[in-house]
Amino acid sequence: MFIILALLVDIFWVVLDTEEKMEQSASIAVERMDALFTGIEKKLAAIDTSNDFCTESDRQALEDIIYDSVSIKEISFIRDNKIVCSDRSRQHNVDISRELPKNYSDFTGRFTYTAKDQRRNKNALFYLIPAQDMWVRVSLHLDYIDFWVSDFGARHSMKAKVIYNGNFVAGDAEVKNCDLLNLIEVDSQKYPYTVMTGYNGHLLLKAFKDQLLYAILIIFLISALFVVGLSSLCRNRRTLESEIVQAIKNNEFVGYLQPIVCSQTQQWRGAEILLRWEHPHNGLTTPAEFITIAENSGLINDITLKLLAEAARNKAVLDKINPDHYLSLNVTASMIANPFFVRKLISIIKHSPALQHGIVLEFTERETFTDDQLAQLQTGMTKLRQHGVTWALDDFGSGYSGLSRLQQLSFEVLKIDRAFVAASSTDTITHSILDSICNLAKRFDCDVIAEGIETTEQAERVNALGIKYCQGYLFAKPMSFSKYVSKLKKAQRQPVLDLAPKELEQIIEH
């Protein structure tokens, strides 16, 4: 596996590296060749071709241009297929029709071509520039251009050539396009040519071999970092897991209460128990920090039993304030499908008279079950219902099996997912879905609780739909039991009124 990863990294690295090098090298070659042609044209522009053209000083200027550039072999001014002026004094009115393209007079701009130099009887590279009623033909040293382009490619560990209109001009002539496994073309924006760079199989293999050691080192370092990170994660997991075990022994896990209120009167009818960890060093910690490890390790079962035992003590106090007040505790469906865990729950309820009424257990619809597991879940729910437990389906609508769960399992309460409540203010479709959920609840004889109420507008919509109960930050945030008792006593002294949502803030402040 290590070698395979190293090879894959090497291949990926070579592909990216060669792509970048090809484009960079071709761009550099174009830049240098553009500079060559631009320099030639600037010097030619300094020659006056209007009056008494081709004087000795004009030919001397052409010779100076050639002398300054090793790539230029000859410069000629052409009119009507004849040389009218050249750096060579003897070349005057020489007919060079056979060296010129047949249709060159149709061109209006610069162009490049190769042809046989009839005076030297060998191929030459020519560059034609329009100049008033003439053409300037620059004859380039083809051997030098070939060498320069080929050497340029070799110095960059690739093949390079210059093409014009798809035809080879200079460079690695023996390499055809089909021989290159990877290539790129960069056009000059000013002059009529294109530089092509690329890699054949031999060069790619060489690049692959050159980078293989680095790829192995990278994979080795990544693997080492991964092992160290995984080891650290496992240590942290074990540390957190051991901390959770110790926290259970020290009773550091407590239930914070968030009230569930009547939509019309805003009376506190019950409360949901929300898990918190009173960490000795980190302070009050929410489940987001530890719930995944607690669930994966199975420690969540012991935490839940601790919360239920705490709920028994707390409910005995709450019953003295309001005998009709209930508490709701979150469990997972897999807990209830576990007969051993159900027996533990029943044992706590049997020994706690306060839990034998007004206790709600809720779980979500997100878990999936086989037929056998579903039968065990139904059995567990039935046994606990026989001991006074009421069942609630939490986050209804957030899963894919809401209606089927309602048909297969019996619930007394539906808790609408907060996402529907939040979207109902602006989305008419979501508002319609809420209405459908309310009708479905009536069909199955379920009470409905809307979760996540944060604004008076949401409260008004929920109330208008006939949803009896609400829960959310608009009414109160989760709080400690002692604070909850204090607020519940004040709420009990409030007269029972049919209040509009806009009056909620006044009640909450008091």
* pLDDT average, residue stretch 470-482: 94
User: Domain residues of the chain, as ranges?
Assistant: 2-202, 250-509
pLDDT of residue 426: 66
Q: Say yes or no to pLDDT of 354 above 90.
A: yes
Flag whether pLDDT at 330 surpasses 90: yes
Residue 475 pLDDT more than 80? Answer: yes
pLDDT (tens digit per residue) in 418-465 = 888 877 666 676 667 788 888 888 888 899 999 999 988 888 888 888
Question: Which has more confidence, 168 or 298?
Answer: 298
Both structure tokens of 49: 């071709």
What mean pLDDT do residues 51-79 have? 82
pLDDT of 504 reads: 41
Q: Is 138 exposed, middle or buried (0-12, 13-18, 19+ CB in 10 A)?
A: buried
Q: What does the pLDDT read at residue 507?
A: 40
Global confidence as pTM? 0.55
Residue 506's pLDDT band (cuts 50, 70, 90): very low
- In the chain, helix, strand, coil percent, each to 5? 50, 25, 25
Which range (7-16, 160-169, 292-301) has the least confidence? 7-16
Q: Which of 10-14, 82-86, 304-308, 368-372 has the lowest mean pLDDT?
A: 10-14
**CATH 3.30.70.141 is held by the domain 250-509:** no
The rounded Cα 413 to chain-centroid distance in angstroms is 39
Token digits of residue 270: 């019950």
Cα separation, 281 vs 279, in Å, equals: 6
Cα–Cα distance for residue pair 497/510, rounded to 1 Å: 15
Residue with the larger pLDDT of the pair 299 and 108 = 299
Predicted confidence (pLDDT) at residue 189 exceeds the cutoff of 70: yes
Integer Rg of the chain from CA:
43
The pLDDT of residue 42 is above 50:
yes
Q: Is the pLDDT score of 498 beyond 50?
A: no
- Cα–Cα distance, 332 to 306 (Å, whole number): 15
Residue scoring higher pLDDT (219 or 457):
457
Across 4-18, 123-137, 249-263, least confident range: 4-18
Q: Are 260 and 478 in contact (CB under 8 A)?
A: no
State the CATH architecture for 2-202. 2-Layer Sandwich (3.30)
Task: Tell me which residue of 412, 450, 454 sits closest to 431, measured CA to CA.
Answer: 450
Contact 473, 459 (CB under 8 A): no
Q: What is the pLDDT of residue 205?
A: 67
Q: Which residues pair with 206 in a beta bridge?
A: none
Segment among 234-243, 317-326, 337-346 with least mean pLDDT: 234-243
pLDDT value of position 215: 63
Model confidence band, residue 1 (pLDDT cutoffs 50, 70, 90): low
Mean pLDDT of 41-56: 80
pLDDT of 501 over the 50 cut? no
CB within 8 A of 21, min separation 6: which ones? 156, 157, 158
Tell me, yes or no, if the two domains 2-202 and 250-509 fold the same way.
no
Task: Kindly report the average pLDDT of the chain as a whole number.
Answer: 81
